[in-house]
Structures are given as C-alpha cells and as structure tokens.
C-alpha cells in the first residue's frame, strides 16, 4: 500500500527539466531527427511497433527519441498514445501467402518454389565490429540487383498440407477476442494467446522459447519457413460497401513444423507453431512460434510435463513488459506508512526478544 503525499512539485519540475537536458546530451553533438531514427535504427522502431501494438514508424521513432532509447519506456508511450485514438474497425486477416518477400528461408526443404531468399540478414556476418561505420559519410555500395521472378512464393506448410502430412489449422470465430478491449481471461483460446505473444516482450518470449529447446516442454521444432516482407491491409469501408486497401505493413512470419506421434484414431502428422509479428523481427517471430506450439499441448492431446512454457497463465500474465514494469516499478513510490508499521513491528519484536534474553541471563 502506498499513501498519497503532497509536496515535491518543484523537485519534480526540476527533475523533468534535467531529464530534457540529459535527453539532448552534449549540445555540440547534432540532434537526432525522427527520420534518422526511423531509417537507421529501424529494428528498434520495429520492436517498439510490435510490442507497442501500433504500426506507425514515425510515432515509434518519436517514442524512442523521447525515451532516450529505453525501448520498454518507448513501448509504454506508444501504448498510452494508442488509447487516445478511436478505432475505425478491423482489417480482413492479412494474406501472408501474397507477401512481397524481402526474405524467405526454409530449414526443411532446400529446393522449394520461390527459392531461398536471404534478404538483409545478420546471418553469416562475422559479428566483428565494423570500424568503418565509425567513420561517418561512407555510403555503402549499392546492393546488387537481379531479375525478380513474378512466380508466387507459396507457404511451405501448404506442400505438407497437400499430402495431409501436417495437421490442418482449424477455423475460429470471425471476431477474435481482443485483450486490449477486455481483461485477459482464462482459458485463453489460441487467437488470444497469439495476440498476447505478438505484443509480448521479446526477451521474455525468447527465453520461454529457449526453455522449450533446452528440455522444459521440448517440441522438436523445424523452421518450416521464415518470411519477411510487406502485405496489403484490407478493410471493409461501410460507407462504400466494399473493401479497400488502407495501407501496407511489414511483417515477419515463422511457421514451425513440429513432431507429433499420432493417436489410435489419427495417423501421424506434423503439428504447427506460428509466429507473426510487426516489422522485421525475426528472433521474436521464431520465439513466438515455439511458445505457441508449447501452449497447444492440451488441444493436441499431449502431456503437461509441468514446463513453464506450457502454462498459459504463467506465459500470458508475464509476457507484457508494460504491465510488468508498472508493477515492478511501483515499489519505488512512497510506501512510508506501510514501512512505518513494519518498522514499529520489528522494533517491538526486537525489544521483546532482547528483554527475554536479559531476563534469562539474570536468572
């Protein structure tokens, strides 16, 4: 319990003024512009959009600047801003099969229609610091180009589904539950879990996924496919009576192909985990797919081995970094009265204990 206290306005104002000065840093160094953040710290912008649950690169860049690069603080700013906006409606589910892919790889099939497209990846870099970047003004050479194929880039899981080798995805309600409109409630169906995971903290979702790989609810994932690119977002416009594209978003999608032993009634089939995240957010999308798969133990008739990643309440209640930060950091706010009562109690207990010891010594 904390009790409202008055006072400190001047200290708070001065602290905020100093914060603004510290945010700016050394004034002899050029100030960062939002386009610079948006263009050159794009992966930070993507993370803030994904966890802030709002696709708007300019706003995310502003939040990162205001938060001095503290990405969880930036996510908090985006979440707060989002609540001030009216919602016009919901889009049709995006068609990731029609994605304009910057990257598309499969760890399960070497030769597949559409090919393996590496895209702008950190993979295969040597993770050696590049001191050339410290010297500004060196523009990189233009990236090579090749003739693009107009052929479709079908989902890998589609090939497996055509042979019945992978479990089909069941349909669900056309209007999924929305944890931004109603409190998170259990049991959480898969659409609700996917919403919580896609906006969940990247570090938390990564660690949960890693725990399944290390044996806490192992589910033998293969990355059937990982794709990054842009998709069109379509929405029905009531005053028009038809759907239009209202924009396009960059997404990262990961489909895992996981083992499944089959049952007495069903022949063996692979199962799926799914990750879909705003922006180029590969680590998060793969993590999301692994955790999604772990949380599906019940519907797939698997044993609950008591692994943390199988526990929907544990995962979903702890995935949100704004919620977690809020509760964690509230303990630094004044708890003077709370603490005063504890202090008095400890003093009394000590006095009693010491009094008893003195009496024993005297006897």
Partner 1 sequence: MSAQDPLEARKARLSTLARAPADRLLALWRAHAPEPPAHRLLRAPEIGTVMVRGRAGATGAPFNLGEMTVTRCSVRLASGAVGHGHVQGRDKAAALAAALIDALAEDGQGEAVEAAILAPLRAEDAARKAARAARAAATKVEFFTMVRGE
Q: Which residues of 352-363 are buried (b: 16+ CB within 10 A; e: fewer)?
A: eeeeeeeeeeee
Residue 98 is a binding residue for partner 1 (CB under 8 A): no
Q: Which of 42, 232, 300, 324 binds partner 1 (CB under 8 A)?
A: 232
Nearer to partner 1, 25 or 97 (CB): 97
How far is residue 143 CA from its own chain's centroid? Answer: 30
Nearer to partner 1, 178 or 338 (CB): 178
Q: Report CA dihedral (10, 13, 14, 16) to the nearest 10 degrees.
A: 160
Q: How far is the CB of 226 from partner 1 (least distance, A)?
A: 12
Instruction: Give the three-class secondary structure for 309.
Output: helix
| Bridge partner list, 221 | 258
CB within 8 A of 154, min separation 6: which ones? 97, 113, 114
**Binding segment for partner 1 among 55-63, 125-133, 324-332, 348-356 (CB under 8 A)?**
55-63
Q: Which of 245, 266, 338, 344 binds partner 1 (CB under 8 A)?
A: 245
Site for partner 1 in 290-349 (CB under 8 A): none
Residue 141 is a binding residue for partner 1 (CB under 8 A): no
Q: Which of 239, 303, 329, 360 binds partner 1 (CB under 8 A)?
A: 239
Q: Which of 15, 237, 343, 349 binds partner 1 (CB under 8 A)?
A: 237
Residue 108 is a binding residue for partner 1 (CB under 8 A): no
Nearer to partner 1, 25 or 158 (CB): 158
Sheet containing 271-278, strands listed edge to edge, beginning at the edge strand earlier in sequence: 100-105, 221-237, 242-258, 271-278
Other CB atoms within 10 A of residue 176 CB: 15
Residue 242 is a binding residue for partner 1 (CB under 8 A): yes
Site for partner 1 in 254-283 (CB under 8 A): 255, 272, 274, 276, 278
| Contact string (CB under 8 A) for partner 1, positions 163-202, x = contact | -----xxxxxxxxx-xxx--------xxxx-xx--xx---
- Least Cα distance to 167 among 301, 257, 271, 296 occurs for 271
Give the chain's end-to-end CA distance (angstroms, integer): 43
Respond yes or no on whether the N-terminal peptide bond of residue 187 is cis (omega within 30° of 0): yes
Residue 87 is a binding residue for partner 1 (CB under 8 A): yes
Nearer to partner 1, 87 or 359 (CB): 87
What gap in Å lies between CA 181 and CA 192, rounded to an integer? 12
Nearer to partner 1, 2 or 81 (CB): 81
Residue 116 is a binding residue for partner 1 (CB under 8 A): yes
Q: Are 176 and 192 in contact (CB under 8 A)?
A: yes
Residue 32 is a binding residue for partner 1 (CB under 8 A): no
**Binding segment for partner 1 among 32-40, 89-97, 308-316, 322-330 (CB under 8 A)?**
89-97
CB within 8 A of 335, min separation 6: which ones? 1, 2
Residue 236 is a binding residue for partner 1 (CB under 8 A): no
| Crossing angle (nearest 10°) for helices 42-52 and 202-213 | 90
Q: How far is the CB of 111 from partner 1 (least distance, A)?
A: 7
Q: How far is the CB of 68 from partner 1 (least distance, A)?
A: 23
Nearer to partner 1, 211 or 271 (CB): 271
């Amino acid at each position: 319990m904390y009790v409202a206290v008055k006072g400190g306005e001047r200290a708070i104002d001065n602290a905020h003024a100093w914060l603004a000065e510290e945010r700016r840093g050394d004034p002899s160094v050029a100030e960062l512009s939002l386009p610079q953040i948006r263009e050159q710290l794009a992966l930070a912008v993507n993370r803030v959009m994904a966890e802030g649950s709002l696709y708007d690169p300019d706003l995310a860049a502003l939040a990162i600047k205001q938060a001095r690069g503290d990405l969880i603080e930036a996510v908090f700013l985006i979440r707060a801003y989002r609540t001030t906006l009216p919602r016009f409606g919901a889009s049709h589910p995006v068609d990731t099969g029609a994605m304009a892919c910057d990257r598309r790889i499969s760890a399960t099939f070497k030769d597949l229609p559409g090919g393996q497209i590496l895209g702008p990846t950190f993979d295969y870099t040597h993770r050696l610091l590049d001191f050339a970047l410290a010297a500004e003004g060196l523009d990189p050479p233009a990236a090579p180009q090749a003739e693009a194929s107009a052929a479709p880039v079908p989902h890998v899981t589609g090939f497996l589904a055509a042979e019945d080798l992978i479990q089909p995805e069941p349909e669900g309600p056309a209007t999924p539950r929305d944890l931004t409109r109603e409190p998170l409630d259990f049991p959480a169906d898969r659409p609700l879990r996917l919403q919580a995971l896609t906006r969940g903290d990247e570090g938390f979702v990564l660690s949960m996924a890693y725990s399944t790989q290390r044996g806490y609810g192992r589910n033998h994932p293969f990355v059937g496919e990982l794709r990054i690119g842009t998709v069109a977002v379509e929405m029905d416009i009531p005053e028009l009576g038809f759907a239009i594209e209202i924009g396009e978003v960059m997404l990262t999608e990961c489909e895992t192909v996981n083992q499944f032993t089959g049952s007495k009634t069903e022949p063996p089939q692979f199962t799926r985990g799914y990750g879909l995240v705003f922006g180029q957010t590969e680590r998060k999308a793969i993590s999301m797919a692994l955790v999604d798969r772990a949380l599906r133990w019940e519907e797939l008739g698997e044993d609950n081995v008591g692994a943390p990643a199988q526990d929907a309440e544990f995962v979903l209640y702890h995935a949100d970094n704004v919620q977690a930060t809020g509760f964690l950091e509230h303990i630094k706010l004044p708890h003077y009265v709370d603490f005063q009562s504890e202090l008095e109690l400890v003093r009394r207990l000590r006095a009693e204990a010491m009094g008893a010891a003195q009496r024993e010594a005297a006897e």
